[in-house]
Structure formats: structure tokens, C-alpha cells
Amino acid sequence: MTTYQQELQRLKLYGKQVQQKKRYVIPKVSAKRKLQIVEDKILFEQDKDFYKEIWAASKHACQSCGVKLPKEPLTLFFHHLLPKSIYPQFRHEPSNIAILCFECHSKCETNIDFAPKIKMIKDRVSKELLK
């Protein structure tokens, strides 16, 4: 018996009111949330396959500064020119992807004007995809 249970018994013997500790119950995952989790996993796998295809067809160099990238792809190398949050229909469109190093990707995310080559590519892709 734990010390908490012993103390509880002792207090009950002497007639003092003692409140039981409330047990924390882990909430169950709703059906809607379960469905969202499954959809997210499927989308993640689709993204992974899509990025592998793009990586296989690329030169493994940053399209902005030209620095060579490692042989193994990382998701941070893939920049969506038209954001996937705004244009989900172009999420898996090869022309909507620019291969960038970490520094150039950060520049593009903060201010596209810092990467003029990528800005030109983005303008061209925007005209093509958003006709």
C-alpha cells in the first residue's frame, strides 16, 4: 500500500473528510480526428513519393545560388512557388517546385525579393498555372 493510501485510511479512521484524488482520463480520439490523422499520413506518403520523383529528375543543385546539394534529399530542399496552403491543387505539380538550399529557401520564405532568380521563376509559373 502506498503512503498516500495509508494516510487516506488514517484520516478516515479519525473521521476527517478527505476528498479522493481525481484520476486523469486520457480523452479518446474522435472519429473525425482519426480520419484526419489517416488523411495526413496518406498525404505525407504522397509528398514523399512526389519529392523522390522531383529529386531524381533534378541536378541536385540550388536553383538560386547554384550550390551543390547532398545526394539524399531533405524536404527543406523543395520550395513550393505557389504556396500549398493557398493553392492545394498545385501541391504535386512539378513546375510548382523549386529546388533550393537551406539559405535560399529561408530567403524565399521571408521575402522573395532576396532571391531574384526564384522570383522570376515564380512569376512565370504563376502565369502558367493561374491562367
Does residue 94 sit within a domain? yes
**pLDDT of 13 over the 80 cut:** no
Is 88 inside a domain boundary? yes
How much is the mean pLDDT over the chain?
Answer: 89
| Residue percentage of the chain with pLDDT more than 90 | 66
Q: For residue 11, what pLDDT is reported?
A: 72
Over the stretch 82-128, which tens digit does the pLDDT of each residue have? 999 999 999 999 999 999 999 999 989 898 888 899 999 999 999 99
With respect to residue 18, please indicate whether it lies within any of the assigned structural domains. Answer: no
Please report whether residue 5 resides in a domain. Answer: no
Is there a contact between 98 and 121 (Cβ–Cβ < 8 Å)? yes
- 111 falls within a domain: yes
pLDDT tier at 14 (50, 70, 90 boundaries)? low
3-state SS string over the chain?
A: CCHHHHHHHHHHHCCCCCCCCCCCCCCCCCHHHHHHHHHHHHHHHHHHHHHHHHHHHCCCECCCCCCECCCCCCHHHEEECCCCCCCHHHCCCHHHEEECCHHHHHHHHHCHHHCHHHHHHHHHHHHHHCC
CB 104 within 8 A of CB 118: yes
Task: Write down the pLDDT at residue 62.
Answer: 95
Q: Is residue 2 part of a domain?
A: no
**Tally of structural domains, the chain:** 1
pTM (2 d.p.): 0.73
CA distance 1 to 4: 8
In a domain, 60, yes or no: yes
Q: What is the mean pLDDT of residues 12-31?
A: 76
Q: Given pLDDT bands bounded at 50, 70 and 90, which one contains residue 16? A: low
Domain containing 71: what range?
29-129
Whether residue 49 lies inside any domain: the answer is yes
